[in-house]
Structure 1
Amino acid sequence: MRTIDWVDDAVEIIDQTALPDRTTVLRLSTVDEVIAAIQSLAVRGAPAIGVAGALGVALAARLHADDGSALADAIGRLRAARPTAVNLARGVDRAAARIPDGAPAVLAEAVALLDEEQTAATAMARLGADLLGELCPPQPRLLTHCNTGALATVAGGTALGVVAELHRRGALGAVIASETRPLLQGARLTAWELTRLGVDFRVAVDGAGPFLMARGLIDAVIVGADRICANGDTINKIGTYAHALGAHRAGLPFVVVAPESTVDRDTAAGTDVEIEDRGSAEVVGFAGTRSTPAGTEAVNPAFDVTPADLVTVVVTDRRVIRLDRGERI
């Protein structure tokens, strides 16, 4: 299934904030609705928000065809909706480049990106499954973090697409899905997708990952990325760095799976990336219920930086990059 698509002149998404209790399709017919969906995480995942940004530009080109100022403002707000994942700005810029050719050309470019991300997921799944067959013992037990399936892309996924491909091949042992605080993308979204796939899995608290690796219960860690810098530093959901340290200590492969659209050669290193802080509300409570004393403030970075020397290999839809062997992005 496509978790984001263009349907009858609007953007349709599966509302990720409603999962796993309800599968709700949101129909976004204005730029403001697309921006709100991105910022609220109704649509999330680097490839998915790149597509959402491009489709948002297509909406803007139709709605503001005769108002250049309003069109430029809409594009700027789309581009800035979330700062860390490179895909959003790239998707917006790619669609916006077709504005001189008219609204139909903008839509065609956005839909082309949609199709390309789906094709990329298929390629990543194949390459990643082949690689894990080489790096791991038969029937590997994998730890994954955050959500990297169809919800984070268009269909298939990045890291979770590899997991699904191993499952289809009968070559998967089991999966531990890190819950991914504070919004539980692993416990809510990855668990939902793994259930639909029929994959044997368990959920673990984020902090358990390195201990489970040390106890020999994990054969490899496989994650996605929101940006991969020119030096190989990987920006991904907060908690990824801790899993990478655990994998390094335990001598386990740490595998990053992301499309070429997430590789950012224009950013030298992770220190150059703006890390989004989403404020205290997501940390001091959950689902409207406060879990800390009234007035408590929190620091809430949405992402962290895993240094390149902790990454074994990067798998994209076009290539396998063995950082552990000195290969370069």
Structure 2
Amino acid sequence: MAHQPSASASLQAIRYSPGSLWLLDQRKLPLETVYLEIRTAADGWSAIREMVVRGAPAIAISAALSLAAEASNLEFSGTTADSASFLVEKLEYLVSSRPTAVNLSEAATKLQNLVRKVAATASDPRTVLQAYIDAAEVMLIDDVAANKKIGSNGAAFIRQSLKKEMLSILTHCNTGSLATAGYGTALGVIRALHAEGVLERAYCTETRPFNQGSRLTAYELVHDKIPATLIADSSAAALMKAGHVGAVIVGADRIAANGDTANKIGTYSLAVSASHHGIPFYVAAPFTSIDQSILSGDQIVIEERSPKELLHSRGGLGEQVAASGIAVWNPAFDVTPAVLIAAIITEKGVITRNSEGSFAIKEFLEAFESSSNPAG
């Protein structure tokens, strides 16, 4: 089921009210604004897998809320243990929709733990279901607040580091309101720089083959009246050589404990080009994108997408453009080595290299928690 909301809601990727979830079909942007009703976890799984919704934070929230919508409308007659098993199994199923983004698996694990804890003492299965629904709804609120903090932290750090009156920023893929619950991560930093009057121009790549840059990021930048220019993926190095890029800011789907970062395919190439031209390369992501259970990017599972995305135009949705019979390699992500990253911008602060040249992420978190809870 689909409908077309008013223009004022056009940049809201997730529209939720208790028992009701609608997702903006981002495959149709920027030419059509259509929302799809998500009634069950199965609907959520399909929407994530088929790129109706994308972006690591938005994927996690959409998955959680799809199950919340199902649970809200569920006539459940089992025990508290049954309700917990139902939710835990559904969350495991949702994680399988897109395995690279750590936000989804981490959110699922936290929600599973909460469900088990509530079920251990609850006498009514509805109590378990409602506890899950409440927790999923909090995720939606918290994500917007975290994104705005990422934006302000990033803008302040970049202005202090680069010490330039005006800055031009290059970004890749889509990391804005359409990839999150609102505001954005890397694009949130760009929004903050623009609001502070120091953004000269934002450059966005087209982001082949699904064109998230040309379809989505350009759409957001135009909507917000931010001065912006769209470039082909292959022209980024030339743009840097011409002196038009002051910094590169990208998002992240998963960050390893050493700072290696998985992001949209093409990110690694941008980092190499930025390094060659002496341009700082920043990653902006919520702390939930950091997976401290994996030591390096070598352990990150990289999703491979359908060959059709390359064989056909419009990311696989249009006419065939490649020769029949050609083999296709179509990874959705690549891993940028930590050595190419200048800083990791999060809602908890900016993680920079220590005296040994490494990202001490665990130590950063310990210091942050200590400063946040001095009495503890």
Verify same fold: TM over 0.5: yes
Code of the residue aligned with 1:228 in structure 2: it is I
Equivalent position SS for 1:93 = helix
Code of the residue aligned with 1:217 in structure 2: it is H
Pick the aligned partner of 1:90 from 106, 110, 118: 106
Code of the residue aligned with 1:240 in structure 2: it is T
Say whether the 8 Å CA contact 1:257–1:314 is kept in structure 2. Answer: yes
Pick the aligned partner of 2:199 from 165, 172, 176: 172
Deviates more, 1:64-73 or 1:91-100: 64-73
Work out the CA distance in 2 between the residues paired with 1:238 and 1:20: 22
Deviation per residue, 1:187-223 (Å, 9 max, x gap): 0000000011101111111111122112211111000
Report what 1:134 is aligned to.
160
Pick the aligned partner of 1:328 from 360, 366, 369: 360
Query: How far did residue 130 of structure 1 move?
Result: 0.7
Say whether the 8 Å CA contact 2:39–2:70 is kept in structure 1. Answer: no
Deviates more, 1:52-61 or 1:247-256: 52-61
Say whether the 8 Å CA contact 2:19–2:70 is kept in structure 1. Answer: no
The answer to whether the aligner puts 1:119 opposite 2:135 as a matched pair is no
Report what 2:52 is aligned to.
42
Code of the residue aligned with 1:125 in structure 2: it is G
Larger Rg over CA atoms = 2
Deviates more, 1:264-273 or 1:286-295: 286-295
Work out the CA distance in 2 between the residues paired with 1:182 and 1:281: 10
Pick the aligned partner of 1:296 from 320, 326, 338: 326
Work out the CA distance in 2 between the residues paired with 1:189 and 1:236: 16
Work out the CA distance in 2 between the residues paired with 1:263 and 1:91: 12
Deviation per residue, 1:100-151 (Å, 9 max, x gap): 2511110110011111111101101101111121233221111100000011
Say whether the 8 Å CA contact 1:20–1:189 is kept in structure 2. Answer: yes
Say whether the 8 Å CA contact 1:142–1:222 is kept in structure 2. Answer: yes
Say whether the 8 Å CA contact 1:232–1:323 is kept in structure 2. Answer: no
Counterparts in 2 of 1:267-306, with a 5 A limit? 267-286=294-313, 287-306=317-336
Work out the CA distance in 1 between the residues paired with 2:138 and 2:58: 13
Work out the CA distance in 1 between the residues paired with 2:181 and 2:143: 6
Q: TM-score, normalized by length of structure 2?
A: 0.84
Work out the CA distance in 2 between the residues paired with 1:268 and 1:135: 28
Report what 2:265 is aligned to.
238
Equivalent position SS for 1:290 = coil
The answer to whether the aligner puts 1:220 opposite 2:230 as a matched pair is no
Query: How far did residue 42 of structure 1 move?
Result: 0.8
Equivalent position SS for 2:199 = coil
Deviates more, 1:162-171 or 1:68-77: 68-77
Report what 1:9 is aligned to.
19
Deviates more, 1:280-289 or 1:139-148: 280-289
Query: How far did residue 25 of structure 1 move?
Result: 1.8
Equivalent position SS for 1:293 = coil
Code of the residue aligned with 1:29 in structure 2: it is R
Deviates more, 1:132-141 or 1:27-36: 132-141
Say whether the 8 Å CA contact 2:312–2:318 is kept in structure 1. Answer: yes
Query: How far did residue 93 of structure 1 move?
Result: 2.3
Code of the residue aligned with 1:86 in structure 2: it is V
Code of the residue aligned with 2:360 in structure 1: it is R
Query: How far did residue 279 of structure 1 move?
Result: 2.1
Query: How far did residue 2 of structure 1 move?
Result: 4.0
Work out the CA distance in 2 between the residues paired with 1:92 and 1:134: 37
The answer to whether the aligner puts 1:103 opposite 2:126 as a matched pair is no
Question: Across the two proteins, how many residue pairs are aligned to each other?
Answer: 329
Structure 2: tracts of 5 or more residues without a match? 1-10, 120-126, 362-376
Deviates more, 1:209-218 or 1:189-198: 209-218
Change (3 A) 1:324 1:5: farther
Say whether the 8 Å CA contact 2:354–2:360 is kept in structure 1. Answer: no
Query: How far did residue 18 of structure 1 move?
Result: 1.1
Work out the CA distance in 2 between the residues paired with 1:291 and 1:306: 30
Deviates more, 1:204-213 or 1:80-89: 204-213
Query: How far did residue 50 of structure 1 move?
Result: 1.1
Work out the CA distance in 1 between the residues paired with 2:344 and 2:324: 43
Code of the residue aligned with 1:297 in structure 2: it is A
Pick the aligned partner of 2:277 from 250, 254, 261: 250
Q: TM-score, normalized by length of structure 1?
A: 0.95
Change (3 A) 1:106 1:218: same
Structure 1: tracts of 5 or more residues without a match? none
